[in-house]
Amino acid sequence: MSKIILKSELLNKIFDGRQITNDEAYQIYQEAENNPFELYKAAQILRNENRGKRVTYSRKVFFNLINLCRDTCSYCTYKAEPGESKVSMMSKQDITNLASIGRKYRCTEALFVTGERPEQKYDEAKTWLAENGFSSTAEYLVHASEIALNAGIFPHTNAGNLTKSEMNQLKKTNVSLGVMLENSSERMTGKNMPHEFAPSKNPRARIHVLENAGNLSIPMTTGLLIGIGESPFELIDSIFTLRSIHQKYGHIQEIILQNFQPKSDTMMRDVPGPEGKYFKILVALTRLVMPEMNIQIPPNLSPNSYPDFLQVGINDWGGISPITPDYVNPEFAWPSIDTVQENCRNAGFELRARFPVYPEFFHMADSNLKSKMLEISDSDGLVSMEYLK
Ligand code: SF4
C-alpha cells in the first residue's frame, strides 16, 4: 500500500495495513467531531485502493409481497394493519405480471420484502396463505422466487429472521439474502426504545440469523440504521460486530448504512433524522474498520447530498428501481439511474449495474444461478452493458 501521511498518527496506522481496534475507532470518532476531513480523506483513499473508482447499483423490482408484520418497530411505516389501504398481499399472478414488467425494463434483481412472520399474528395472513396453498410466508417466498427466476430476474429476499432451514430452501433460487442488524445494542429493545415491541430485532436473534447464513455460505446483505437513539459508541460497536461475524464466515457481501428518516404515521414522527456530519463520520469510520467491504448508502434517503458520500468511502448505491417505489421509505422516490450516473461521472466515478450478489461472492451462489448470471454478465461479473441497452 502507498504510504500516506496524514496529520493524525492514528489514521496513518491504518495505511500500514493494521486493523483498527474499538478503542481506536472511538478515538478517531472523537477527533473527527472537531475536524472530520482527515477521516474523510483516509476513507476515500482506502475506498480507492480497495474498490477503485467504480460505484455499483442493482437494478431492481421491489416486490412488496406481504406487509402485515408480527412485530412493531416504532419507526416503521412499511408495516400495515388489516383493513388499511396500504395492505399488500401479492398473488402469484401479481408476481408474474410485475416480474414480466421488470424483465422488460432489464431489471436484474427481484427484491422480495415481507413483514416478520405475519401469519403468527394475523388470521388474515394465515388464511390468505392457506388459500394460495402455503403454510407460511417463507414457503410462499420459495414459490415467489421461482416465479421471478423463471422470468429472468434474480431474487434477493429480505423477510426478517428466517430459520436456517428456510434460508437453505431459499438458497436454491436467491443469489443472496438480506437481514439488517440495525444496531447491536440490546438497549434499543428496552422500554420506550425503537425495538421494544419487535422481538425479531433483538440483536442476538439477528446475529444468530447472520451466523446461520454464514454456516450455509449464503452471501448476506446487512446493515445499520443510524439515528434511532443510539450513542455513537453503540454504532461503532455495531460496526465491529459485523466485522467479527464477517471475519468468521466471510459471507457479508455488503453493509448498508441507512440514515433514519422520521415517518409522520409512526411513534418516532418527531425524532429528527441523524445530523449530516454524524452520518458521514460513521460512514467513513465503517470504511476504516473494513477497508475491503462493499459499503452502501441509499441515494433516495439523502436526495440532496448523496454524491457527497462518494468522498467518504462508499462504493455502492444499493437497489434502485426504475418501476417500483421504495415501500419502506415511500416518501423518498428513487433518483433516476441516468441522474445517478451523471452525478457519479461528475465526481470522477463510473456507475455500473451489478447483480444482487457481488462478483466476488458468485462462488457462493447455487451453480444453476451462477450460470444464469454468467449468460448476461461481463468479464468482471457485472451486468453487461449490452444487456442493458
Ligand atoms: S421494520 Fe420490519 S420488523 Fe419492524 S415493524 Fe416494520 S416490517 Fe415489522
User: Above 60 in pLDDT, residue 3?
Assistant: no
Q: Give me the CATH number covering residue 329.
A: 3.20.20.70
Asked, for residue 16, whether it belongs to a domain, the answer is no
Residue pair 161/177 in contact (Cβ under 8 Å)? The answer is no
Of 65, 76, 256, best ligand 1 pocket probe by most atoms within 8 Å of the beta carbon: 76
Task: Tell which residue, 256, 320, 322, has the closest CA to residue 294.
Answer: 256
Per-residue pLDDT at 248: 98
Q: Which three cell numbers stand for residue 150?
A: 423463471
Q: Which residues pair with 352 in a beta bridge?
A: 56
Of 65, 70, 71, best ligand 1 pocket probe by most atoms within 8 Å of the beta carbon: 71
Asked, for residue 276, whether it belongs to a domain, the answer is yes
User: Above 80 in pLDDT, residue 346?
Assistant: yes
Query: What range defines the domain where residue 340 resides?
Result: 52-377
Count Cβ neighbours within 10 Å for each residue of 325-350 and write b for 16 or more, e otherwise. Answer: ebbbbeebebbebeebbebbeeeebe
Task: Give the number of the atom of ligand 1 that is nearest the alpha carbon of residue 201.
Answer: 3
In this prediction, residues 171-191 reach a mean pLDDT of 98
Per-residue pLDDT at 4: 56
Per-residue pLDDT at 313: 97
User: Above 90 in pLDDT, residue 291?
Assistant: yes
Residue pair 319/63 in contact (Cβ under 8 Å)? The answer is no
Is 115 close to ligand 1, i.e. is its CB under 6 Å away? Answer: yes
In this prediction, residues 369-385 reach a mean pLDDT of 98
Is beta strand 220-226 parallel, antiparallel or unpaired with respect to 252-259? parallel
Asked, for residue 238, whether it belongs to a domain, the answer is yes
Q: Which residues contact 135 (CB under 8 A, 6 or more apart)?
A: 129
User: Above 50 in pLDDT, residue 334?
Assistant: yes
76 CA to middle of ligand 1, Å?
6
Per-residue model confidence as pLDDT tens digits over 226-269: 999 999 999 999 999 999 999 999 999 999 999 999 999 999 99
Per-residue pLDDT at 5: 61
Asked, for residue 26, whether it belongs to a domain, the answer is no
Is 116 close to ligand 1, i.e. is its CB under 6 Å away? Answer: yes
Asked, for residue 1, whether it belongs to a domain, the answer is no
In this prediction, residues 92-99 reach a mean pLDDT of 98
Per-residue model confidence as pLDDT tens digits over 302-315: 999 999 999 999 99
- Band the pLDDT of 132: cuts 50, 70, 90: very high
In this prediction, residues 272-277 reach a mean pLDDT of 97
∠ CA 220-225-228, nearest 5°, is 155
Asked, for residue 95, whether it belongs to a domain, the answer is yes
216 CA to middle of ligand 1, Å?
25
Is 76 close to ligand 1, i.e. is its CB under 6 Å away? Answer: yes
Asked, for residue 12, whether it belongs to a domain, the answer is no
Instruction: For ligand 1, atom 2, name the residue with the nearest CA.
Output: 115
Helix (H) or strand (E) holding 282: helix 276-289
Q: Which residues contact 49 (CB under 8 A, 6 or more apart)?
A: 1, 2, 291
Residue pair 44/312 in contact (Cβ under 8 Å)? The answer is yes
Is 71 close to ligand 1, i.e. is its CB under 6 Å away? Answer: yes
In this prediction, residues 175-189 reach a mean pLDDT of 98
- Band the pLDDT of 1: cuts 50, 70, 90: very low
In this prediction, residues 85-113 reach a mean pLDDT of 98
Q: What percent of the chain has pLDDT over 90?
A: 95
Please give the tally of structural domains in the chain.
1
Asked, for residue 6, whether it belongs to a domain, the answer is no
Q: What average pLDDT does the structure give for the chain?
A: 96
User: Above 50 in pLDDT, residue 45?
Assistant: yes
In this prediction, residues 12-32 reach a mean pLDDT of 91
